[in-house]
């Protein structure tokens, strides 16, 4: 049987895979060098990163997530995700292909799996997303008291709110309409009125840092591979 899966379908699936630190799709960042599927349903994806020495734990997460995303596409019978031009590529590629996990892939070097690291980055993503949602509200005149009592259901719908709620859901934080908009990303507890200004400053700093790091990574990738700096989603 000939596969009916196309490269666009693979890219759509890979668009759900994020750089764990930057919280941006690997397709938008330009990390997907190629994505092809054969008539027999064999999907082959090549990933590239901004530098040869990108942290192996970050790289492993992206390769493993990409493998999971491509493997679940209807019509894909076998998936191979290959990280190119990286000092730990062999260990990462072999480990992901064998479904060995990070600790076994880096036996003698890694102390455990990467669930805690992923959660740390999700908490940062929640903070950054909080700034994205709250900044327009503050600019429109919302006070700390307004924000402290604001619920998710009372916030105007927006892509930023959808993204924030997805990240909160991944952490098991409250996302229902009656949940407070401002919550501690570590515990899910509501932010008290007295703590709102500090919480918003932390959210602003976190978002600014992520935006800056994203720009740096795009520039490094563009320099390394002489690309136009665009990802697949921008083309």
For residue range 37-70, what is the model confidence (pLDDT) as tens digits? 999 999 999 999 999 999 999 999 999 999 999 9
Do 98 and 169 sit in the same domain of this protein? Answer: no
Do 86 and 134 sit in the same domain of this protein? Answer: no
Do 162 and 204 sit in the same domain of this protein? Answer: yes
Contact 55, 96 (CB under 8 A): no
Contact 5, 74 (CB under 8 A): yes
Q: Is 76 part of a structural domain of the chain?
A: yes
Residue-wise pLDDT for 92-134, tens only, equals 999 999 999 999 999 999 889 999 999 999 999 999 999 999 9
Do 26 and 58 sit in the same domain of this protein? Answer: yes
User: Which CA distances in Å does 17 have to 13, 22, 121, 137?
Assistant: 8, 11, 14, 29
Is 0.85 topped by the overall pTM? yes
Do 102 and 123 sit in the same domain of this protein? Answer: no
Please give the residue range of the domain that contains residue 128: 116-215
């Amino acid at each position: 049987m000939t596969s009916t899966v196309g490269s666009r379908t693979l890219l759509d699936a890979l668009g759900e895979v994020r750089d764990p630190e930057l919280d941006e799709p690997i397709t938008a960042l330009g990390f997907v060098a190629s994505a092809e599927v054969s008539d027999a349903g064999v999907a082959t994806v090549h990933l590239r990163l901004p530098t040869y020495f990108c942290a192996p734990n970050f790289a492993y997460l992206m390769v493993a997530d990409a493998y999971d995303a491509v493997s679940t596409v209807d019509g894909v019978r076998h998936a191979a995700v290959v990280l190119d031009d990286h000092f730990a590529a062999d260990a990462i590629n072999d480990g992901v292909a064998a479904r060995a996990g990070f600790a076994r892939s880096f036996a003698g070097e890694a102390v455990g799996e990467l669930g805690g690291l992923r959660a740390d980055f999700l908490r940062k993503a929640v903070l950054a997303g909080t700034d994205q949602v709250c900044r327009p509200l503050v600019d429109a005149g919302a006070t700390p008291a307004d924000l402290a009592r604001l619920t998710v259901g009372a916030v105007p719908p927006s892509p930023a709110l959808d993204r924030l709620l997805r990240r909160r859901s991944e952490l098991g934080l409250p996302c229902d309409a009656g949940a407070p908009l401002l919550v501690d990303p570590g515990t899910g507890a509501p932010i008290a009125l007295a703590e709102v200004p500090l919480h918003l400053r932390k959210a602003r700093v976190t978002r600014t840092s992520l935006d800056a790091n994203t720009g740096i990574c795009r520039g490094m990738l563009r320099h390394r591979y002489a690309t136009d700096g665009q990802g697949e989603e921008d083309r």
